Amino acid sequence: MLQGGAQLVVAHSNQKPGGVERGSVERVWYVAYGSNLALERFSCYLDGGRPRGGARVYPGCRDRTSPQRTAAVTVPGGLVFAGASKVWGGGSAFYNAAAPTQLAGRAYLVTLDQLADVAAQEMWREPGGAYARELAALLPEVAELHSLGAGRYETVVRLGELDGLPMFTVTHGTVADLAPVAPTASYLHWIATGLIEAHGWDLAQVVDYLHAAPGVQLGWTPGALLSALNGNAGRGG
């Protein structure tokens, strides 16, 4: 039992994929698919601070070392906007593993403690607190972890491997149960910035990708989305 009555429900794997022994991994990939696609915005999770256009000041990680590497990745599943973002207003971005599409992400090579602190902040918990310490102790030999608490991003999911190291992301445990909600322009600006940075897409590709995500169509036509992003992608809103 963690602070605030939260609990962890863990699906373990005895070895990393590929047969690497337990305890031999010091770094893992954190895969961002929402606003953290943009390096400047992700730096608020590492270094602390408030992202431009956002309503939250992040405490940052205990270890504020920059990611060792970053990489553009595409994984099975899809992007959906739902719920209510406390930082941006409108819908939050979630990863839906069951979607018959592809998710465009950006992988950051970080330490186990950094991933644990990022996940803790996603769940509005303290970096280095009970949740972060327990998660760091479980990594990387975990296939899926659910935190039974108040956070929206309470599920840590293994996405496979990149260069022999496991990839993880965070999402909602039952995305299919959430009603789609349109995201705000400021939120979409950061996501677009990250897609351009990581994948080298132009705005037309960004609009096609984002407009296909459930929730976006509820508030944006392709033309309105292009107009909102034009001149702002690369600046974060």
In percent, the amount of the chain with pLDDT more than 70 equals: 82
Residue with tokens 């309503």: 55
> Residue 53 falls within a domain, yes or no?
yes
Q: How far is CA 165 from the centre of its chain?
A: 18
Q: How does DSSP classify residue 236? A: T
The total number of structural domains in the chain stands at 1
Helix runs in 64-168, H state only: 112-122, 130-138
Tokens of 114: 């950094």
> Residue 200 falls within a domain, yes or no?
no
Angle (deg, nearest 10), helices 222-229 and 185-199: 80
> Residue 216 falls within a domain, yes or no?
no
| pLDDT band (50, 70, 90) for residue 144 | low
| pLDDT band (50, 70, 90) for residue 15 | very low
* Digit-coded pLDDT (tens) for 184-230: 999 999 999 999 999 999 999 999 999 999 999 999 999 999 999 99
* Digit-coded pLDDT (tens) for 48-104: 999 888 878 889 999 999 999 999 999 999 999 999 898 899 999 999 999 999 999
> Residue 138 falls within a domain, yes or no?
yes
The boundaries of the domain holding residue 129 are 3-14+24-82+94-175
- Tell me the pLDDT of the chain averaged across its residues: 85
> Residue 111 falls within a domain, yes or no?
yes
pTM of the model: 0.86
> Residue 204 falls within a domain, yes or no?
no
φ, ψ (nearest 5 deg) of residue 175: -55, -35
> Residue 75 falls within a domain, yes or no?
yes
> Residue 60 falls within a domain, yes or no?
yes
Contact 107, 73 (CB under 8 A): yes
